[in-house]
Structures are given as structure tokens and as C-alpha cells.
Amino acid sequence: MRAIVLKGHGGSSDLEVRQVDEPEAGSGEVKVKVAAAGINFADLMATEGLYPDAPKTPCVLGYEIAGEVESTGSDVSGFEPGDLVFAPTMFGGYSEMVSVPEGDVYRVPDGMSFEEAAALPVNYCTALAALVLMGGLMEGQRVLIHAAAGGVGIAATQIARKYGAEIFGTASASKHDAIRAQGVNHPIDYRSKDFESEVLGLTGGEGVDLIIDATGPTSFRKDYRLLRPGGKLVMFGSSEVSGARGLLDRKTISALVRMPMATMPWWKSFGAISENKGVFGLNLLDWWKNEGLTRLGAVMERELEAGTFQPVVDRSFAFDQAPDAHEFIRSRQNVGKVVLVP
């Protein structure tokens, strides 16, 4: 079968289509013929050697897929060949075939395309974890969503809108109409304005209740200052380092130096008692490894049935265009998800 193989850590140019062995459906597994595979920022960082959880090269990246059940292994009772499904994948999603544990497989909702379904697992589980499980979002609260035009940003906006939050979102000016359409009340152009000053101005100096941010580490300290009493910051990435070339790249070193001081150093733990703020770190892959996605998946299914989630797919690229797809995301051109199709 065909798969997109990462052959080294030279960036997107090290992605190439190769013939690899087709997986079998083991006991308790569902083999899926992939119709669409989602791209995530972790994939981009892996191509640069900056994602420690990625497998050693040569490897196949990809965290989420949608397609048709090809076959099932023994002990599988909930699916059969021909079923339309989507699933998170622990790498390996950039392939024509993948085998996934039955517990990680979900049915594609009626009327939803494969491309849209492939945008669900990582983005929506991340947004649910950040806003609902960690953030405890409640009606009437103020939430700041960084990169509001990205896949997680749009997922988070749809969730925050359902909860009745007042939504602040950072994005380049050209994307403001798009994020307003999703429910952002206050778009902020992070390229031309200081988001901290803008949020303080819009809230009369009070700040916000919840911030989710994968763009750090430079922004994390500002985020922390913007939290009003009871506020929470959820950090779930550091896209600022994308575009670097390895751990010794100047951009990487600069970002890593900032990281320990980004929010509150460990020696500030006693002082934090008087600040009434919380800081959370979120790594969906570690969550997945330690617990599985059962809790988050159950909430995702419930919200899908309620019509809360409406994935936005910006563009689909063929497998042999994978380098172009990665560069499209890296250049911040996308509004919503970018997917690969065999």
C-alpha cells in the first residue's frame, strides 16, 4: 500500500510517498481503508525533529483518519466491513490502510464527509479537554482562544459558543470574518496589535476567565497576566518554534529559554496562593497513552449528536502533495483543517 513516509528531520521536504507493508487487523482491531487523514501541528514539528513522541525516522505520521471499514479482527462486535468510520491513530494515519483498536473507532455522522470527519478526533478532543474538563467553562465567562482560525481554534469556538461564553480570538486580520462567523465576539489581529492590551481594553481592565494557547511560549506570560481571579490558562503547544531546524536552531533555543519563565517559575508557588489563578498543561498524546480517549470520545459523540460540532475543512491535498500541505499550514494560510487524501 502507499503511505507518506518521513525519511528525516529536514522539514516537509523529507515527506515522500512510498510502498509499505499493509497492516493486518489484529484481535480487537478494525482495519480501515483511509479516505482522509488530518494534519496536526505535531506532525509539522515532527518533520523538524522537534516532537519527542514521534517515532524514529523513517516513519509514518498522522493522528487521525476517516474512511471505510475494510475488515475486522477477532473479538470485534461493533463494526463490520463497509461501515463509515473515523478514528484517532497513534501515528500511521498518512496511509491507505490503518488498523485501529475498536474502542477508538467512531461512526461518521450522517451527512458528514470523510474530510470533515477526519478533522474531529484531535481538534475536538483537545478543545473539549482544554475548555470543559480542565477549564471548567461556564455560561457567561470570557474565554480567549489563540489561533482562533485553526482547527483547534474553530473547535474551541464552537464549544465556547454553545456554553454561552464571550469569546475573544486572535487571528490575522484577513481571517476575522471567518472567525466571527464561527462565534468569536472580539477578533484581535495579533500581528498588528498587542493582544494583552486589546483584551484589557475590551474588558475594562478586568481580563478573562479562561485562555487556551498553543502559540507560546512568548505569549504565556501575557496570558497569565490577563487572567482575572479564578481564571485558568491551558497551554497545549508551542507553535512559535515551528519553522526551526532542530534543537540547536536559534529560534528553538530562544523559545526554550523563555519556556521556564513563560508563566510562573516553581519558586513562585507560595505567591501563587494569593493570585487565585491556575495554569494547566495539556498534551493529548500523553493523555491518550495514559488513559485512552474514552472520556473525551464519549463527550465528543454526545456533542456530535447534539449538532454542536461542524468541522471546517480549508483544503484537501493528495498524498503526493504532503510537503505542500505542511507548508500551507506552516505559513498560517489555513482557516480550519487541512487534510490529506490518498
Q: How high is the pLDDT of residue 273?
A: 80
Nearest to 89 by CA among 56, 48, 118: 118
Residue type, 285: L
Q: How high is the pLDDT of residue 284?
A: 92
Sorted by where each starts, the structural domains of the chain and their CATH numbers stand as 2-120+312-341 (3.90.180.10), 123-285 (3.40.50.720)
Q: How high is the pLDDT of residue 50?
A: 85
Peptide bond into 58 cis (omega under 30): yes
pLDDT in tens, 63-112: 999 999 999 999 999 999 999 999 999 899 999 999 999 999 999 999 99
Burial class of residue 148 in the structure, from the number of CB atoms within 10 Å of its CB (0-12 exposed, 13-18 middle, 19+ buried): buried
Q: How many helices (H) and strands (E) does the chain have?
A: 12, 16
Contacts of 302 (CB under 8 A, 6+ apart): none
Answer for the pair 331, 44: CB distance below 8 angstroms, yes or no: no
CA separation for the pair 338, 122 (Å, rounded): 13
Q: How high is the pLDDT of residue 98?
A: 98
Q: 32 forms bridges with which residues in the sheet?
A: 69, 98
CA separation for the pair 207, 224 (Å, rounded): 10
Report, as ranges of residue numbers, the positions in the chain whose pLDDT lies below 50: 244-248, 253, 257, 260
The residue with cell 483547534 is 152
CA separation for the pair 341, 315 (Å, rounded): 10
